[in-house]
Amino acid sequence: MMTFNLHPANRAAKIIDAPASRHYTCLSLFNNAPEVTYKRGELIFDARQQGQYVFLVTAGIVKISSFYQKQEMLHDYHLPDEIMNGEAVYGTEKQELLATAATNLTKVKKIPVDYFREALENKPGLHQEFISHLMQSLSRTRERLLRLALLPAEQRVIHFLITHTERAGRRVGFEHVIKPLPTHQEIGYIAGTGRQTVTTVLNELRRQGIVHFNRQYLLVRNLDALKEKAGL
């Protein structure tokens, strides 16, 4: 069982040499870390922990946001097997961020930044994988900002559904199941629009037979048709 009160010379070795971590992936560094479960809306970390830990989502959805002039601004949202707060490894100064559970039964693990950094130094092959995690997050943020600038609200909702289906959907035959599903309010927050717009778009897509949904899940019946409506 991993412990965090290790002699500095043995820290990274103990993390990555755990029996379940023989493939030495970035995700395997979290194998023995404790898992904490959060309810929707619960705070996972704020500026006080931002420089101390690297986090891994293991279930549910986590949103990353900040406040500007008392208004909350979304930076990204994370799904299972995605690393959060990785920028802390480089000790760079950045905006104070908040991580909040966007779904019930959201589960997260964390390990100290120092341990993560030393693991990367001891296993150089992990560094390229870690950079890939960071670049994916930056790419999602850039694409979201472009959609906010260029697309009408209804199209932003459809683009979110496509992106979220490809990231989080479980394929069942020709259909895709998304569970858990963010609330219409959360989808609107991510897409930069209101809850009523999200509800209107989803109801129209359901009427056309492209999606089906309830409070527990969303079923994308025809992803190609959804992409066609988005002009992709």
pTM: 0.75
In the prediction, which pLDDT does 92 show? Answer: 65
**Is residue 142 helix, strand or coil?**
helix
DSSP state of 81: T
pLDDT value of position 5: 40
CATH code, domain with 13: 2.60.120.10
Q: What pLDDT score does 17 carry?
A: 45
Tokens of 95: 């905006």
Q: 158 and 95 in one domain?
A: no
- Please report the pLDDT score of residue 23 as a whole number: 53
Same domain, 88 and 103: yes
> What is the model's pLDDT at position 93?
54
68 and 172 assigned to the same domain: no
The verdict on 85 and 43 lying in the same domain is yes
Cα 186 from Cα 198, distance rounded (Å)? 10
40: Cα separation from own chain's centroid: 14
Question: Is 1 within a domain?
Answer: no
- Residues 69, 144: one domain? yes
Cα–Cα distance between 171 and 151 in angstroms, integer? Answer: 28
Query: Are 114 and 25 within one domain?
Result: yes
Q: What is the DSSP letter of 33?
A: S
Tokens of 118: 């030393």
Q: Are residue 127 and residue 12 in the same domain, yes or no?
A: yes
Same domain (yes/no): 130, 71: yes
pLDDT in the model for residue 67:
82
Rounded-to-integer distance, Cα 221 and Cα 205, Å: 10
Angle between helices 153-168 and 184-191 (to 10 degrees): 110
Q: What is the pLDDT of residues 3-29, one digit of tens each?
A: 334 344 444 444 444 444 445 788 999
- How many domains, in total, are found in the chain? 2
Q: Looking at residue 7, what is its pLDDT?
A: 40
Q: Strands across the sheet with 211-213, in order?
A: 170-172, 175-178, 218-220, 211-213
Please tell me the predicted confidence (pLDDT) of residue 94.
Answer: 63
Could you tell me the residue range of the domain that residue 79 belongs to?
A: 8-148
Q: Is 60 left (phi over 0), alpha (psi -120 to 50) or beta?
A: left
Do 122 and 25 share a domain, yes or no? Answer: yes
**Do 117 and 170 sit in the same domain of this protein?**
no
State the Cα–Cα distance between residues 99 and 84, nearest whole angstrom: 9
- Residues of the chain with pLDDT below 70 are 1-23, 92-95, 232
Report pLDDT for 37. 97
Strands 43-45 and 170-172 come out as unpaired
Instruction: Name the pairing type of β-strands 170-172 and 175-178.
Output: antiparallel
